[in-house]
Amino acid sequence: MSKNQVITVDTARAAGQALKQVAASLQGLAEREAVEGALVVSFERLALIGQMSAVLNQPQVEAMILQAGREFGAYEIAEMRDRSMPDAVVVQAAKSALLKGYLLADAAGPHFTVIAGKGATATAMIKEAGHRYRLAQSGCTDIRVTACGLGMRPRPNAAGKFDMLVAGTASCTHKGKTVTVERPRDLPYALPCYESDGPDGHEAKARRRLLRDLWAAVSGEFALDSEDEIETVQPVVIDSTATRLPDNDISPQALYDGTRSELVAYAAGIKDEGMRIAFQSALDLIEFADNASTLRGQKDTEIVPVLRQIGVSKKVGENVMRLLEQRCAVLEAP
C-alpha cells in the first residue's frame, strides 16, 4: 500500500463497476427475503460481502482508499494528537463503511470519519451526508432534520464530564408515508461534550444522531454502537460559560422513557422472533416492576441471563442496565 501510487481512471472505473454489480445484488436481497427465507438470503449476503471485500483488498484499490482520505480529504480522519494511525488501520476502517454502502467520495461531503480507537484500531463514524445518501438510495424523499441545543449538565456517575442536551426532529417520505423520529425537549439526547465541539458541533452531532435513528426506522438497521468510540479519543471540555442543566431538571421518568424508547426501537429491529420476544420480556419485566429492591434482585437472576442468551452487544447490555437503574429511580422517587 503506497500513498504515492498513481491511481489511473481505468483502475478506478474497474473497481467501481465491480463494486456496483455486487451492491446491486445486495439491494435485491431484501425483496427476496420474504420469499426465500432469511436463512438462505443471509448466506448469500455473506458471499456478496466477500466479493466486495475481494475488490477492496486489491492493492491498487487500497491505495485509492488511503489517498482519498490522506491526500484528498474525501473522508475525514480524526487522529489522536500524540500519534497518527497506521495507514492499514485507516484503510480497514474505511472499508467497513464502504461495505455498508457508503461512498468513498461524494460531492455532498464526506460520508464518514475514521476515528482512532484503543491500540491499533479505528472505527468509521457515519456523517450526516452518509445518512442522507443511504436514505435517498432507499427511496426516501423530502428528508428534513432540525436540532437545537438546550444546555449542558454534569454526566451522571462520571465526575468532571459533561453532556450537552439536544432536542430535534428528523422526517422523510418513504413509500408514500411520512416517517418521523423526534427527541422533544423533555426527552433530549445527552451527547458528550468535547474540546472540538462548539454550539454548531453539538447541533451537527444531534442531526447526525436523528438521521441515524431515521435510517433505523426506515431500514430496520440499528447501529447503537456506531459512535461509542468517539469518547475514547476526544478530550472532554468543561465550559464554565455554558448553561448547565442540573440532573433534577429532568425527571427520572423522562430519563427512563428516553432510554426505553431507544431499546423498544432496537427490539423492533430484531428479526428472529424468539430473540425479539425474549428481549422484549426483559424490557417488560423492568417496565412493570413495582419495587426497586426486587427489581435489582432480578438483574442477575432474570435479566442478565436473557441478554446473554440472545447475545446482545456490550452497549445494548449497558443500556438495559441503565434502564433498570432509571426505573428504580422512578420507583424510589418521592
Q: pTM above 0.75?
A: no
**Burial (0-12, 13-18, 19+ Cβ within 10 Å), 43:** exposed
How many other C-beta atoms can be found within 10 angstroms of the C-beta atom of residue 49?
Answer: 14
Q: At 88, list the grid cell.
A: 492499514
Give the C-alpha separation, 85 to 311, whole Å.
31
Q: Which residue has better confidence, 111 or 237? A: 111
Predicted local distance difference test score (pLDDT) of residue 234:
33
Span 4-13, pLDDT tens digits: 566 678 888 8
- The fraction of the chain above a pLDDT of 70, given in percent, is 84
Predicted local distance difference test score (pLDDT) of residue 4:
56
Q: At 249, list the grid cell.
A: 431538571
Predicted local distance difference test score (pLDDT) of residue 250:
62
Predicted local distance difference test score (pLDDT) of residue 225:
42
Q: Which residue has better confidence, 244 or 164? A: 164
Give the C-alpha separation, 85 to 89, whole Å.
6
Alpha helices in the chain (DSSP H): 9-27, 29-36, 38-56, 59-70, 87-99, 128-137, 199-219, 230-233, 252-268, 273-287, 292-298, 304-310, 314-332
DSSP one-letter code for 72: S
Span 202-223, pLDDT tens digits: 788 889 989 988 988 887 765 5
Q: At 172, list the grid cell.
A: 422523510
Give the C-alpha separation, 66 to 137, whole Å.
25
Closest CA to 195 of 132, 144, 238, 244: 238
Q: Could you identify the residue written with the cell 431538571?
A: 249
- Which of 185-199, 221-235, 243-257 is the most confident on average? 185-199
Amino acid at 16: G
Predicted local distance difference test score (pLDDT) of residue 31:
67
Q: Provide φ and ψ at 115, rounded to 5°.
A: -120, 130
Q: Which residue has better confidence, 35 or 294? A: 294
Report the alpha-carbon angle 66-58-125, nearest 5: 40
pLDDT-derived band of residue 190, with 50, 70 and 90 as boundaries? confident
Span 49-85, pLDDT tens digits: 888 899 999 999 999 999 999 999 999 998 877 778 8
Alpha helices in 150-239 (DSSP H): 199-219, 230-233
Residues contacting residue 133 through CB under 8 Å, at least 6 positions apart: 102, 103, 106, 108, 111
Predicted local distance difference test score (pLDDT) of residue 196:
57
Tallying the residues shown for the chain, one arrives at: 334
Closest CA to 73 of 95, 102, 104: 104
Q: Which residue has better confidence, 229 or 179? A: 179
Closest CA to 317 of 329, 326, 306: 306
Give me the chain's average pLDDT, please.
81
Give the C-alpha separation, 245 to 259, whole Å.
19
Q: At 320, list the grid cell.
A: 438495559
- Mean pLDDT in residue range 281-292: 90
pLDDT-derived band of residue 91, with 50, 70 and 90 as boundaries? very high
- Which of 56-60, 185-189, 258-262, 314-318 is the most confident on average? 56-60
CA 81, chain centre distance (Å): 24
Give the C-alpha separation, 60 to 1, whole Å.
8
pLDDT-derived band of residue 198, with 50, 70 and 90 as boundaries? low
**pLDDT of 281 strictly over 80:** yes
Closest CA to 44 of 215, 52, 16: 52
Q: At 56, list the grid cell.
A: 477492496
Amino acid at 131: H
Span 293-328, pLDDT tens digits: 999 999 989 999 888 888 888 888 888 998 999 899
Q: Which residue has better confidence, 250 or 329? A: 329
Predicted local distance difference test score (pLDDT) of residue 129:
94
Predicted local distance difference test score (pLDDT) of residue 252:
80
Give the C-alpha separation, 184 to 187, whole Å.
5
Span 100-153, pLDDT tens digits: 889 999 999 999 999 988 777 889 999 999 999 999 988 999 999 998 877 777
DSSP one-letter code for 288: T
Residues contacting residue 219 through CB under 8 Å, at least 6 positions apart: 134, 138
Q: Could you identify the residue written with the cell 490522506?
A: 70
